[in-house]
Chains A and B, each alone.
Chain A
Amino acid sequence: MSLTHLELLEAESIHIMREVAAECENPVMLYSIGKDSSVMLHLALKAFYPSKPPFPLLHVDTTWKFREMIEFRDNLAKTLGLELLVHINEDGVKEGVGPFTHGSAYHTDVMKTQALKQALSKYKFDAAFGGARRDEEKSRAKERIFSFRSAQHRWDPKNQRPELWNIYNTRISKGESMRVFPMSNWTELDIWQYIHLENIQIPSLYYAAKRPVVERDGMIIMVDDDRVPLEPGEEPVEKMVRFRTLGCYPLTGAVESEATTLPDIIQETLLTTSSERQGRAIDKDSAASMEKKKQEGYF
C-alpha cells in the first residue's frame, strides 16, 4: 500500500518543520488564524508530538482583524499551552492608520508588511514558517520551500537557491533569515479535505451565518465594529454570508452562502468559478503585485 496524496503531503510538511527545528536557532511560526494557519499548526502539533512545537507562534495584528479571529487565537493558544507573540506596529497605531482612512495598500504595507519586519527584527528570528501555498498565486508557484531573505527581508526571485530532493539548505549569515513554507505543495482542496478528515478547528467565520454587512466597491463588508464609516442614513443589513479567506475585515469580501457545515463549504468551494484570493482587495492591483510585495518583505 503506498500512501495517499494527503498522507504524502502531511509527511512532507512534517519533514520540513522538523528540519527547521533541528537546524535553525530561533524559529517562529507565523500564525494568521485562517484555515491554512490552522492546518499548519495542526501539522506542527503532529510533527513534534509528544513534545510541543519548539517555537512560538507570532501573530501580526493589524488591529483590523475580525473580533472573532482574535478570540479564536487567544483561546487556541491557551488550550494548547503554546507561546503566542502578538505584534502590532505601534507607529502605525499612533498615526491612526486604517484601511478606511488610508486605503488598502498603505494600510497593508504599514500594519502588515512593516509590522512583520519589525517583529522579525525585534525577536531576531532566523526562520519563520508561513502557511502560503504555491497554488495561491503565480509568483508563489515560483518560490522555494526554504525561501532565503536578505538582512533587509528582501526576496530575490531571480536568484533563488536550487532546492533538490528534500534536502534543504538552511545556512544563512548573521541578520539574514529564511521564510519556510511547509505547505507549499498543498492545494486549496487539499486543505479543506484535510480539515475535514482531521477534524481541525477553524473560526466560524468560514461558515455561513447571518451577519451585519454593507456593500463597498462591489464587495460585501461585514460591520464587525463601529469603525465602519456609514453613509448618512445607511444601515447595515443582515445577510447569510461567509468568508473564503480571513484578513482585515474591511478588506475581506464576504460571499453570500448557505453553507453551514464543512461538507457544504467544500462543495461550494469546488463549484465556485472564482479563485479564493479574489475576495482580497490587496491582490487586485496588478499581475506582478504579489511578486513586488514579496520582494519588499510581505510574507
Chain B
Amino acid sequence: MSHQDNLIAEDILAYLEAQRNKSYLRCLTCGSVDDGKSTLIGRLLFDSKMIYEDQLSALENDSKKSGTQGEKIDLALLVDGLAAEREQGITIDVAYRFFSTDKRKFIIADTPGHIQYTRNMATGASTADLAIILIDARRGVLDQTRRHSYIASLLGIRNIVVAVNKMDLVEFSQHKFNEIEEEYRGFAEKLDFKEIVCIPMSALDGDNVMNRSERCKWYKGKSLMEHLETVDISQEVTQTSFRMPVQWVNRPNLDFRGYSGTIAAGQVKPGDEIIVIPSGKRSVVDKIVIRDGDLYQAEVNESVTITLRDEIDISRGDIICSTDDPAEQSDQFQANIIWMDEEAMFPGRQYIMKINNQTVPATVTDLKYKVNVNNFAHEAGKSLALNEVGVCNLSLGKPIPFDSYKKNRHTGAFILIDRQTNATIGAGMLDYSLRRAANVVWQDLEVGKVERANLKHQKPAVLWFTGLSGSGKSTIAGLLEKKLFDIGRHTYVLDGDNVRHGLNKDLGFTDADRVENIRRVAETSRLMVEAGLMVMVSFISPFRSERQMARNLMEDGEFIEVFVNTPLDVAEQRDVKGLYKKAREGKIKNFTGIDSPYEAPENPDIVVDTVDKTPEKAVEQILAYLEENGYLSAS
C-alpha cells in the first residue's frame, strides 16, 4: 500500500485521522462474458498498489500456469479466486475486493458475465451504489449488457459508468467509441439512471483507468478513478422520515426493554414521537442506547437500540416509524421478482418470504408479465425461469409493514426461500399494495382445487384401474404409487381392501350394492382430486355405466381409465387368492367372470397387457402416458 506513503511515514496519527473521514463507495463491475470485468478490478488493485509483493509473485506464477495473456500477467487472476474459475478462465461467483485512494474507500464487487450466473450479478448489485458496465469495443452492446443494465436499474442503482474496454484492440477509435456510447444511451433512456458516464479504456494496459491515457487524446473526460473518487452518490433520498425495522428485542433484565435494529431511513432523537407498524401503537423515544453511553441522535444505516417511554408490545419484524409518514402495511402486493432457481417459479406455489427481519408464507397469485431484457417489452408467461424478471402479484400469510422499493431500498426489498431446500430462489422489490384505500373490498385468495394442486406441484387425476379379479390391478397400482411417491407426488390408492372394510362395509355383492360401491369410491376419489392428489382406484368395476358415471364426476383430463387386460383363463390360472376355485365350487356368488359379467372398456385411456408384461413394465407404460400427457411436469 503506497498511497500517501509520505504521510504514513511522517505522521501516522495524521494519516489515521485523514483515513477516518474518508467517504465510502460500493460499486460493481458487470457486462457480458469476457468484456474484461475481472481484468479491470485486477488493474485497479494493481495500480492503487493494493497488491503485496508475495501476492504479485504468486500472480506471476499463476499467470504462466492458467493465464490468458501468454507471458504477460493476467490481472483477472487476482479476482477469480476459485479453482474452477481459474481453470475455465471465467468468473462464476461474485468476488468482493477492497481498495482505497487518498479520497475514498471502495468495495467493488466483480460479477460474472455468463448468463447462467446472472443471479450472482444481482447479488453484487443489490448493495452497490454505482455500476461499471463493461463493453468490449469490438463487440459493442450485447444482450448481457442490456440485461445487466436492466437489473442494475431495477435494483435501484442510479449511477452508471460505461467502460468501453479493449480500446487497444480497435486502435482507440473515437468513431467506434461514439457509436457504442450512442447505442448505449439510446436504450438506457428507458431505464431509471441518474447519470451515465462513458469512458474509453484498456483494462489490460491501464489506459484511462487510473490516469488519462496518452493513446486517446480525443477523450476529454475523466479517467475511471478520477470519476469514482468524485462521483456524487448521495442517492436522491426519497425517504427521510424515520423507520427502523425491529431486529431483536433486548431484555437483559426486567427493568430494561430495548428494541435493536438498523435504521432504514431518516433520523431519530429522544423525545421523538413514534408509531409501530402494523400494531399502530404510539409512544415516544426515551433513549438511544449504545455501549459507549446514550446517543443524542442516530441516523440511517446506524445499528442502535431504542427504548420507549411506554411499555407497548413490539416484536421482531415490526417497524418503528416516525408518526408523520409511517410505513404502510398490507398482505397483497405487486412486486418485481428476479428468479434465481433452476426450478421455475409458478403462480400458485407457496414460498417463504423474508422481508424486514421476518419470514412469512408468500404465494405468487399471478404473473402479470415477464420483462424481455433486450427490448424491455412486457411478455405474457406462465412461469419465470432462472434469471428471468417478472412483475407478479403476491399474497402473504399475514400483513407486513413495508415501503415501496422505489422509496426505500431497505424496507421494500425481499427474498424468496424454497420451503423444501431452504435455498434462496428469488429476489424481489415491492411496488405497491393491492389493497388500496379505494379498494376496500378486496378479494381474499380463495383456496381451490387449482391452488391446492399448485402447492403440491402436480396435476391431480384419478387413474381408474379396471379388470378381472387377479388381473394385477392392485399390484400395478401399488407399484405406480411408489414410483410417483419417489418423484415427490402426493398420491393415494383406493382399493377393495381399504374401502370394503370401512366406508363400504355395509355393502354386499348384489348388482345394486356393486353400483353403490363404485359410486362411493368415485365420489371419494373426486374429493381427493379436489384436494390435489393423484388417486389410484383399483376396483374390478365390471360395469361400463359406473365407470362412465365416475368419469362424469371429474373434469376433462382428470379421469384416466386403465384397463388391466388379463383374459379370464389366465386370471383363473393364477388365482392368487383362491377365489376362482371357490367361485367355481359355488362357494362365492356373483363372482365377476364366473357368474357375473365383466364389461371390458371400449375406449380405455391405457390398456396394459399382463400376459406378456411384468407389472414393472406396466408401470413404466403408465408413467410414460402420464409424462406424455403432462401429468408429471409440474402445474
Contact = CB atoms under 8 A, between A and B. Distances in A.
Interface of A: 1-8, 10-12, 14-15, 18-19, 21-22, 45-52, 134-135, 137-142, 157-158, 160-167, 169, 171-173, 184-185, 187, 189, 193, 196-197, 263-264, 266-267, 270-275, 278, 287-288, 291-292
Interface string B107-121: 100000000000110
Contacts of B357: 19, 22
A158 B305 contact: no
Contacts of A171: 352, 417, 422
B340 A162 contact: yes
Contact of B54 (A10, A45, A267, A278): A278
Interface stretch (B79-87, B500-508, B557-565): B79-87
Interface of B: 1, 5, 8-9, 12-13, 15-16, 19-24, 52-55, 58, 61-62, 78-84, 86, 92-98, 100, 105, 107, 119-120, 122-123, 126-127, 234, 247-248, 250-252, 256, 258, 260-262, 289-291, 299, 301-303, 305, 316, 340, 352, 354-355, 357, 409-410, 413-415, 417, 422-424, 427
Given A14-B303, A169-B354, A197-B20, 8 more contacts: A2-B234, A7-B302, A14-B262, A18-B260, A134-B98, A142-B93, A165-B413, A263-B13
Nearest to B5: A271
Contact of B1 (A8, A167, A185, A270): A270
A50 B252 contact: yes
A165 B125 CA distance: 9
A165 B96 CA distance: 14
B354 A2 contact: no
A158 B20 contact: no
A141 B79 contact: yes
16 contacts: A1-B299, A2-B23, A11-B301, A12-B303, A22-B247, A135-B97, A141-B95, A142-B95, A160-B93, A165-B409, A167-B354, A169-B423, A187-B98, A196-B16, A275-B52, A288-B83
Contact of B290 (A49, A138, A292): A49
Nearest to B425: A162
A6 B23 contact: no
Contact of A291 (B78, B83, B107, B251): B83
Contacts of A157: 82, 84, 93
A220 B175 CA distance: 59
Given A4-B21, A171-B352, A165 B54 contact: no
A292 B354 CA distance: 32
B340 A46 contact: no
Given A167-B415, A287-B86, A193 B19 contact: yes
A280 B237 CA distance: 46
A158 B82 contact: yes
A162 B262 contact: no
Nearest to A3: B301
A49 B58 contact: no
B205 to A, nearest CB: 23
A164 B122 contact: yes
Given A161-B423, A167-B415, A185 B107 contact: yes
Contact of A169 (B248, B290, B422): B422
A6 B20 contact: yes
Nearest to B8: A270
B271 to A, nearest CB: 20
A275 B58 CA distance: 12
Nearest to A48: B250
A275 B50 CA distance: 10
Contacts of B21: 4
Listed from nearest, the 3 A-B pairs whose CB atoms lie closest are: A138-B81, A5-B24, A164-B126
A211 B417 CA distance: 54
Interface core residue of A45, A135, A172 (most chain B CB under 10 Å): A135
B414 A167 contact: yes
B256 A50 contact: yes
Contacts of A184: 96
Given A5-B22, A18-B303, A267-B12, A163 B123 contact: yes
Contact of B413 (A4, A167, A185, A270): A167
Contacts of A50: 250, 252, 256, 258, 289
